[in-house]
Amino acid sequence: MSNDEEIGRIDPSTRAILTHWREAVPNDRLAHLVRDAARGLTRALQFRLSEHGVSFGHWVFLRILWERDGLTQRELSIEAGLMEPTTHSAILKMEKLGYLTRRQENGDRKRMQVYLTEHGRTLRDLLVPLAEEVNAKAVIDVPPEDVEVTRRTLLAMIHNLAIDEAEVVDAGLRITPTRDLAVKSA
């Protein structure tokens, strides 16, 4: 199948992104390119996870708990980079699905810890290969040395941006919640 035939089979929104990068702004900012690559990786995994009834949001929490079971909701929120109410909603849904359970530790009613159930643990062997497949597909025809350079570059970017975030927070800057922006413009 030719490259043009392959592109013709692609989802219209993804096709628009490819056209954007190849024709409209081939030298646009790196942040946009990283965002679109992340979008592609996420969608590819979402399709595969959905075959097993697992949402991408639940995947995020499962991955964390497979590595560090027994975190509190707050710790899980921090690890996932999400707000606590979002994490709480996901935890409740995942508990109903039988992926995890919450338990009080040390008699502290406010400190509920989250543990995977046997079902939640067994999902690892089913789902991790799907993520590995997506990663492999993303780098088809990319030389291994380019993948390694990309990996090192992305890790350096993550590090640099973490330092920048600490500096702007120290300078007193904050991210304004969307609901507050709506109030300001009214």
Res 95: pLDDT = 98
What residues does each domain of the chain span? 1-50, 52-138, 141-186
Residue closest to 91 by CA, chosen among 128, 123, 65, 126: 65
- Under the banding of pLDDT at 50, 70 and 90, the label for residue 11 is confident
Question: How far is 140 from 135, CA to CA, in rounded Å?
Answer: 9
> Which tokens is 151 given?
């990996």
Res 106: pLDDT = 76
* CATH topology for the 52-138 domain: Arc Repressor Mutant, subunit A (1.10.10)
> Which tokens is 16 given?
């628009």
Res 186: pLDDT = 55
Res 165: pLDDT = 94
- Under the banding of pLDDT at 50, 70 and 90, the label for residue 94 is very high
How many Cα atoms occupy the beta-carbon half-sphere of 74 within 13 Å? 3
Res 176: pLDDT = 87
Return the exposure string of 109-125: e unless at least 16 CB atoms fall within 10 Å of the residue's CB, then b: eeebbbebeeebbebee
Rounded average pLDDT over 161-178: 93
Residue pointed to by tokens 């996870």: 49
Res 159: pLDDT = 96
Q: 72 in helix, strand or coil?
A: strand
Question: How far is 158 from 161, CA to CA, in rounded Å?
Answer: 5
Q: How far is CA 6 from CA 29, 47, 52, 141, in A?
A: 26, 18, 26, 15
- Mean pLDDT (the chain, rounded): 89
**pLDDT at 178 exceeding the cut of 90:** no
Higher pLDDT, 48 or 23: 48
Rounded average pLDDT over 142-170: 96
- Under the banding of pLDDT at 50, 70 and 90, the label for residue 2 is low
**pLDDT at 166 exceeding the cut of 80:** yes
Res 30: pLDDT = 86
Element (DSSP H or E) covering residue 115 = strand 112-116
